Amino acid sequence: MEHEESLPRVNEFATSMLPRLLDEKQTARVMAVSVAALRRWRHEGRGPQFVRLERCVRYDMRTIERFLSQNSSVNKKAADSRSAAEREVRDEYATTQG
């Protein structure tokens, strides 16, 4: 009897460890884009990573959150400023070596 009572806890734990997979419509809604945009991004090799289960396309919620974070304007500005600083250092190094 004790074994049967512990099963729901194991199932709850296993379920909490599994990724939350969203379909295209749910993902589009979360990202505030169209399903067509998601499909285009997949075709172009852009957008969040996805899982294909036979003919079904699913997106892991954690992957969506990471994609949105990596593509936020704050991260873009930081990357752009790092790139500009790196270019400046390379240019200055090149002039001192030339």
Sheet strands (E) in the chain: 21-22, 51-53, 56-60
Residue 78: domain span: 19-97
Q: Is the pTM of this model over 0.75?
A: no
Task: Name the nearest CA neighbour of 41 among 59, 53, 54, 56.
Answer: 59
Residue 93 has pLDDT above 70, yes or no: no
Residue 81 has pLDDT above 80, yes or no: no
50 in any annotated domain = yes
60 in any annotated domain = yes
59 in any annotated domain = yes
Residue 53 belongs to a domain with what CATH number? 1.10.10
27 in any annotated domain = yes
Count of domains observed in the chain: 1
12 in any annotated domain = no
2 in any annotated domain = no
Residues 13-71 pLDDT 10s: 656 666 789 999 999 999 999 999 999 999 999 999 999 989 999 999 999 999 999 88
